[in-house]
Structure 1
Amino acid sequence: MRYGQGVALVLAAGSLWSLMGLGLRQIEAANVWQILFWRSVGSLPVLLAFVWWTSGGHPLRQVRKVGLAGVAGGLGLVFAFAGAIYAIQTTTIANAVFLFTASPFVAAILGWVLLGERVRGWTWAAIALAVVGMYLMVREGLAMGALAGNIAALLSAAGFGAFSVALRWGKVKQMLPVSMLGGLFSAMVAAAVLAFQGSSLVPSGWDIGISLGIGALILALGMVMYTLGSRVIPAAELTLLSLIEVLLAPLWVFLFLGETASPATFFGGGVLLAAVALNAVMGTRAQRTGGLAKAP
């Protein structure tokens, strides 16, 4: 695969993921755990088919290769998926997706604490800038009554950060089996929570159809394209390219649903995006000069 093809795939994945909020806005009555269960059920056949293809018809062998790190990454995705659904249901799309971009910084801190990976000076500066942006957005949530949604978005970012650290911990080269485990664990956790609550596993047919479609067409297909594209694109540049999701998601709900956010949300989100861009640009520059090769 050529670099340009990889860029196109990653941009397509981010554009597809940006439709997630618009899709979840179509849910009529299903709760977080019902959506999580059926969305996960929808994603599993697509992810399994791709793992089957890439493994030459031996998906279990590829799943076993991810080991304990894959299991940890899959559990991290449970938090990422559940937190994202709750956040999108309880706060604005702009608030949610801006806060999701905190995941690279969560990964940097967890990698430093758990793996002893060096956090470079520019990353600490970007983290400090990101904290300012997140503070502006979460503070606004107090006035809007959306604090729980903002916290859920941050927990989602933390879950995805943990997923990223698990991949580095286990030296996992193929991430689709880990994503498939995340979908499986999410379905199991959602079913267990619903059973504990005494709630039905089956919402309306409309809500089931929307959830299945989001899982199969938006989440899983986006993950497949992202995985293929990431093979030829440095990690720091992936961070920049993934910002297409953050830029498009608020646009779709504004154009089709008339939903917007306050100036404080966009100001805080802009500060957060600047932090992500700073980290990605400096990381790309270090890769080109060979600076990252010296990191332990």
Structure 2
Amino acid sequence: MSTSEVSASSAIADARGQGYGATLVLAAAIVWSFGGTLARFLDIDDGWTVIFWRSLFAALFLLLFMLLRDGVRGTKALFSGMGLPGLAVGLCFATASTSFILALAYTTVANVVLIQASVPLIAALMCRVLFGERIAAATWVAIAAVIFGVGIMVSGSITGRLSPIGDALALLIAFSFATATVITRRFSHVRMTPAVFTGTAIAGVVAASQAAGFVVSASELGILVVFGSLNFGLGLALFVTGARLVPSALAALLGTAETVLAPLWVALFHGEVPGGRTVTGGAIVLAALLCYLGREMWRQRRGALVA
């Protein structure tokens, strides 16, 4: 096989891999977007109790997933092979999930969501500064449009008051998620499923030490099983699998689809119709994501055809 043929095959394989990775990350965002809907079905006052059960069932799901897919020996190999990058990713997700609950005690959901919209920007800047990765102008435009759209979505409920602790925790969530995304991409040869299992286990232990109690009703336990295993565990598995295959900024951008879809599911299942600002901002975010994805698909297809 000639050098040109090898280059063409590599370009096509890379385009397919990125398409597959983007699909998985988008699927993770869709799965995560049901979190608010599921939480509405729970009548548990202590947030730490919810975090404990959610983390526990997520950890069990991820462990069972690895055992079924890779077997006992393969699962052991995954844990021994994740190394420091995997441990760092696990700590990042544990920090993000725990900080979210703490942040809500000091500031509003709107403030947290707005700051979390900066995840793609943080991820892009980290790649640029730390690794010299070139970020296309279209990516910067999409990031700006997403932040602008989310700002419109939450503008009606932003308090305007400064909460240093709450906003610092929200910023910690954004940095943790962006860092996990970048590490997953930079160490794409490392399977990160055991890493997110470690993260859910750490979050569960922290929540167990803070929870007022663990007793829940049978119906709530059923919802928590879905909340933890499918909404949290499956979402994490999809995200870390797909984020290995696409640029960090793109993975973070696709993750913002969760913000757009969450109000839609709440409206459908609970009748909480979103306001005009939420609809307008969500439309801007969705349009930015679709335009950016369409451009990327066209660019990759054109590159594969040229190759």
* TM-score of the two chains, using structure 2 as the length reference: 0.70
Classify the secondary structure of the residue corresponding to 1:259: coil
Q: Once the two structures are superposed, what CA deviation does each residue of 1:131-162 show, in whole Å capped at 9, x if it has no partner?
A: 323433454333599x9999877754443222
Of 271, 277, 294, the match for 1:264: 277
Is 1:127 equivalent to 2:121 in the alignment?
Answer: no
Q: Count how many residue pairs are aligned between Structure 1 and Structure 2.
A: 283
Of 51, 54, 57, the match for 1:39: 54
Q: Once the two structures are superposed, what CA deviation does each residue of 1:245-293 show, in whole Å capped at 9, x if it has no partner?
A: 55543222112212133212222233333333344334444434459xx
Report deviation, 1:208. Answer: 4.7
Q: Distance in 2 between matches of 1:179 and 1:154?
A: 20
CA-based RMSD = 4.2
Partner of residue 78, structure 2: 62
Partner of residue 21, structure 1: 36
- Counterpart contact for 2:58–2:200, Cα < 8 Å: yes
- Counterpart contact for 2:120–2:143, Cα < 8 Å: no
Of 273, 276, 281, the match for 2:286: 273
Report deviation, 1:70. Answer: 1.2
Q: Distance in 2 between matches of 1:257 and 1:159?
A: 31
Report deviation, 1:45. Answer: 1.5
Q: Distance in 2 between matches of 1:258 and 1:95?
A: 23
Report deviation, 1:234. Answer: 5.6
Report deviation, 1:23. Answer: 0.8
Partner of residue 4, structure 2: none
Letter of the structure 1 residue corresponding to residue 226 of structure 2: G
Is 1:103 equivalent to 2:115 in the alignment?
Answer: no
Question: Percent sequence identity over matched residues?
Answer: 33
Partner of residue 68, structure 2: 53
Q: Distance in 2 between matches of 1:10 and 1:68?
A: 23
Report deviation, 1:60. Answer: 2.8
Partner of residue 187, structure 1: 204
Report deviation, 1:57. Answer: 1.7
Q: Distance in 2 between matches of 1:7 and 1:63?
A: 25
Of 237, 241, 265, the match for 1:252: 265
Structure 1: gaps (5+ residues): 292-296
Is 1:176 equivalent to 2:188 in the alignment?
Answer: no
Alpha carbons of 1:5 and 1:131: their partners in 2 closer, same or farther (altered >3 Å)?
Answer: closer
The 10-residue stretch of structure 1 (120-129 or 78-87) with the greater mean CA deviation from structure 2: 78-87
Of 224, 227, 232, the match for 1:211: 224
Q: Once the two structures are superposed, what CA deviation does each residue of 1:197-254 show, in whole Å capped at 9, x if it has no partner?
A: xx524253355553333112332234445667x4998669877876765554322211
Alpha carbons of 1:99 and 1:271: their partners in 2 closer, same or farther (altered >3 Å)?
Answer: farther
The 10-residue stretch of structure 1 (4-13 or 248-257) with the greater mean CA deviation from structure 2: 4-13
Whose Rg is larger? 2
Q: Distance in 1 between matches of 2:187 and 2:244?
A: 20
Report deviation, 1:176. Answer: 1.4
Classify the secondary structure of the residue corresponding to 2:42: coil
- Counterpart contact for 1:17–1:245, Cα < 8 Å: yes
Classify the secondary structure of the residue corresponding to 1:57: helix
Partner of residue 166, structure 1: 183
Alpha carbons of 1:95 and 1:170: their partners in 2 closer, same or farther (altered >3 Å)?
Answer: same
Structure 2: gaps (5+ residues): 1-15
Q: Distance in 1 between matches of 2:166 and 2:272?
A: 16
Partner of residue 202, structure 1: 214
Partner of residue 5, structure 2: none
Is 1:73 equivalent to 2:89 in the alignment?
Answer: yes
Classify the secondary structure of the residue corresponding to 2:156: helix
